[in-house]
Structure 1
Amino acid sequence: MQTNIALLAKRAIGEALKGNWDSAIQLNTQILEKNPDNLDAKLRLGRAYMQTKQFVKAKKMFKEALHLDPINQVAHKNIDLINSNKLDLNSSIINPGILIKEPGTTSEIAMQLTGRGMTGDKFTSGEILSLKIKKKSVDVFKVKGTNEILIGTITNAEIVSKLNKASDLKASIIASVIKCMDKSVDILLKSSLPVFRSEKQDIRPYIKKGSLDEPEIESEELELGV
């Protein structure tokens, strides 16, 4: 059963990375049918519910996660986020910049818009960008129909190194717009494998006595869930 759960988790992560939230909900639900105490699946399912604006279900799932791990910061922060006024209920996309991000699998970078005629008002939050990863830099493109328009280049040595590592490991990488200024854009980089620098938790995670440990794919990629 553990193998089946690991495969379902891998598929669920992949669907979330591609923004296929309905599929992610189905896959994580299948995991919980097999193992109702799967903490990572509950966190992923809660986030998928948030992305599809099913906030009541999301809150319920995060509360169930807290029943398993009472000090889980992801569940606490997402419940606080749902209770706050930071979610735009009229938007078709939940701004990825305000969601709790996963240590090791996500990173943010501010990039200057150097492409001809490119200004911040040409982008929307959540818009997917295309990357061309090179050895010492990463070109970033705006996707317009079947065309890709160069908008700028990431030259931060650490980020470039991590993206090259992700590429070498055949990880899925998604870049999306968080917010824009006149001549710059904040970009969220999301990898299916933990290649970025992680922030350590101040408190050692609580593990409920008798809970089942999950395969390494769960704990390694989903310290905070996808």
Structure 2
Amino acid sequence: MKKVLFGFLVLALLGSCKSRSGLTIQDTPIKFDSTRTVLSLEYLETRYGMMQEEPTITPRMVVVHWTASTSFNDTFNYFYDSRLDASRKNIDDASNLNVSAHYLVKRDGEVHQLLPDTLFARHVIGLNHSAIGIENVGTDTARLTEAQLEANTELIQKLYEKHDIEYLIGHFEYQLFEDHSLWKEVDDEYRTKKSDPSNEFMLRLRKNLSELDFKGPPNQWYLKNE
């Protein structure tokens, strides 16, 4: 656990960094205290049957989201605390661990890193143990911007260089992994319906990243109809 906390401290001290593509990533960490550590380890054990000493993940996929809010500050504040907000009655039975993500992208394309890539974050049912989450400020009516598309493209290229990333999916596609070896959720009833970040955004993002040959969900019938 000391190694994890040391790595998080180093991230906090670095401030911002620039990737080889020129993308600037602002370090804006959310709280990862003892409460979040305990709740993350409990989540891994009770939801996935994974006993771990540290709340770490081995990234194999990137999951792209939108926030369902048009405010960066509101979203950051919502993710910041370790415990789930009392209003989230639809998912609190599964865990009191707060939802979060590794990255949060403003509407102007500015990228903020909330957590180190290899720390556990609760952002996608069944796949959190292997998934880096990218949240984009936007909603079903305030659709994601061109600047966010470019930022996501560059960020995912950077993540591909750092980790053994095989899969790229939108949040709305997560249930297509239910029969996949990566799927870990033990409760067949625990599901939420998602539409983010839209199929249109994912089609354009995949086109931008086509040279990296990412895998998508096991069943992509809807892509063939576009």
Is the TM-score greater than 0.5? no
Q: TM-score, normalised by structure 2?
A: 0.25
Q: Choose between structure 1 and 2: higher strand proportion.
A: 1
Q: TM-score, normalised by structure 1?
A: 0.25
Q: Choose between structure 1 and 2: higher helix proportion.
A: 1
Larger Rg: 1
